[in-house]
Structure 1
Amino acid sequence: MNYRIRKARTEDMGQVLQLIQELASFEKETDAVEISIDDLVSDGFGEEKLFQCFVADTDEGIGGMALVYPRYSTWKGPVLHLEDLIVTEKMRGSGLGSALLTEVVKYGNDLGVKRISWEVIDWNEPAITFYEKKGARVMRDWDVVQLDEKGMKDFLEKN
């Protein structure tokens, strides 16, 4: 398969959203995706870019994507967060995931970040194995903590 890893363009966001929806379905969270193509375009390509996205451009269209954004560690300094690395199911095992991860690591290295971090759902053993083979440390003793919009509103009403 021929492919090229490149920075995403606004016209890619429809296919990027399809990949996001495919991941949500895989993770049994089909109704959780709230963003639109317009959101992705304005947030990723607007005046204040909130993320950088890389895509795997194949003969059949966008076969995968990796979306990252900057964070700051009080222990390490500037770090990069990999929000999602997605390869469409029919193209898994083709090398797209490795190529996308390599592009993310190059990008982080060029930025001079001290760490790249991301989460992986605990039952996705193929992804965990993939990341560990690449040298990533999967920290199974940490839990992800979140407040969604309703949680924030409830919190503020109580405090």
Structure 2
Amino acid sequence: MTLRVTSPVSGRLVALTEVPDPVFSQAMVGPGIAVEPDRAAAEVVSPVDGTVVTLHPHAFVVATGDGAAVLVHLGIDTVKRKGEGFTLHVVKGEVVRAGQPVVTWDPAEVEAAGFAPICPVIALDATADALLDLAEPGPVAAGDALFSWQR
């Protein structure tokens, strides 16, 4: 089975190695890709169909019916903001569809507060060779395919 993972935000795709945090750049939590978001207030959408199993203002995990879990992290060290600047649209345990708004945030405001607004999108508990068809670095719109996860 192959899971198509889409971009939660619009911006510019970059390699995970460009994320200024070793937990992500060294793929300690799993392989994936990152999006340098457009600097405008925007909705962050679910990258897959599934259930919201973890939900914080700055990060969320959506798990599919077969247990694949995708982490979306909004910025680096943004947990220190304690939810400031993030508006949640779902609750933990809610079933969501790919493209459904989960959070609204403003990357420019996050950056102005001193945080990198880059957004890692991680296939949790996956191996690097399980990710296929990784999108090339460059412009991306929310909902565009990022990679296929061979399960």
Fold match, TM over 0.5?
no
Larger radius of gyration: 1
- Larger fraction in helix: 1
Using structure 2 for the length normalisation, give the TM-score.
0.28
Using structure 1 for the length normalisation, give the TM-score.
0.27
